[in-house]
Structure 1
Amino acid sequence: MNKKVGCFYFLGIPEIETALASYKSVSTNPGQPIWAVAENYRFEPAFVESKKLVAGVGDMMNVQVIIEGSMNSSNPYFSSSWRRNFEGGFILDMGVHFIAGLRMIVGCEVTSVSAITSHIDRTLPPPDIISSNFKLENGCSGVFVMVVSSSSPKIIWRVVGSKGTVQVERGKVDGKHGYLVSLYSADGQCKSTFHPFCGVHEELKIFIHDIVQANLKQGNGYEAEPRSSFVEGARDVAVLEAMLESGSKGGTLVNVKKF
Structure 2
Amino acid sequence: MTGIALLGAGIFAREEHLPAIEATPALTLKAIYSRSQQSAEALAAASKDPSSVAIYFDSPAVPGKSLDDLLQRADIAAVDIALPILHQPGVVEKAIRAGKHVLSEKPVAGDIAAAQKLIAWYEGLPAEGRPLWGVAENFRYMPTLREAVKRAGEIGGRVTTFRLQMNAFVRSDSKYFNTAWRKTPEYQGGFLLDGGVHFIAGLRFLLAAAGQEITQLAGFSALLDDRLIPVDTIHAVALTQDGRSGTIGISFATEFKSGLEIEIVTTNGAVTWSPTSVKSKTKKAEGSEGEDVEETEFPYNSGVTAEVGAFALAIEAGKVEAIQTPGEALKDLEILQRLLESGAGGAAVQKIGL
TM superposition score normalised by structure 2: 0.65
Match of 2:341 in 1: 245
Identity %: 26
Q: Distance in 2 between matches of 1:182 and 1:167?
A: 5
Aligned residues: 241
Structure with bigger RCO (C-alpha 8 Å, 6+ apart): 1
Alpha-carbon contact 2:225-2:232 (below 8 Å) kept? yes
Corresponding position: 1:127 with 2:238? no
Larger C-alpha radius of gyration, 1 or 2?
A: 2
Match of 2:207 in 1: 106
Corresponding position: 1:30 with 2:128? yes
Q: Distance in 2 between matches of 1:72 and 1:131?
A: 21
1:132-211 equivalences under 5 Å are 132-151=236-255, 152-170=257-275, 179-186=276-283, 187-195=290-298, 196-211=300-315
> Gapped runs of 5+ residues in structure 2?
1-99, 284-289
Match of 1:44 in 2: 142
Structure 1 residues 9 and 150, CA, compared in 2 at 3 Å: closer, same or farther?
farther
Once superposed, which parts of structure 1, at least 4 consecutive aligned residues long, lie more than 4 Å away? none
Q: Distance in 1 between matches of 2:186 and 2:315?
A: 33
> Gapped runs of 5+ residues in structure 1?
171-178, 215-222
Q: Indicate the SS of the match to 1:72.
A: coil
The Cα offsets for residues 98-132 of structure 1, whole Å up to 9 and x where unpaired, read as 00000101103211110101111111112111001
Q: Distance in 2 between matches of 1:116 and 1:3?
A: 36
Q: CA deviation at 1:184?
A: 1.4
Structure 1 residues 165 and 8, CA, compared in 2 at 3 Å: closer, same or farther?
closer
Q: Distance in 2 between matches of 1:163 and 1:225?
A: 30
TM superposition score normalised by structure 1: 0.88
Q: Distance in 1 between matches of 2:302 and 2:129?
A: 30
Alpha-carbon contact 1:135-1:142 (below 8 Å) kept? yes
Q: CA deviation at 1:57?
A: 4.3
Q: Distance in 2 between matches of 1:224 and 1:142?
A: 31
Q: CA deviation at 1:45?
A: 1.7
Q: CA deviation at 1:162?
A: 1.4
Q: CA deviation at 1:192?
A: 1.4
Q: Indicate the SS of the match to 1:121.
A: coil
The structure in which a higher percent of residues are strand is 1
Match of 1:21 among 103, 111, 120: 120
Match of 2:191 in 1: 90
Query: 1:134 is aligned with what amino acid?
Result: A
Structure 1 residues 51 and 139, CA, compared in 2 at 3 Å: closer, same or farther?
farther
Q: Indicate the SS of the match to 1:29.
A: coil
The Cα offsets for residues 217-253 of structure 1, whole Å up to 9 and x where unpaired, read as xxxxxx3211110011100000010111111110110
Match of 2:332 in 1: 236
Q: Distance in 2 between matches of 1:72 and 1:10?
A: 26
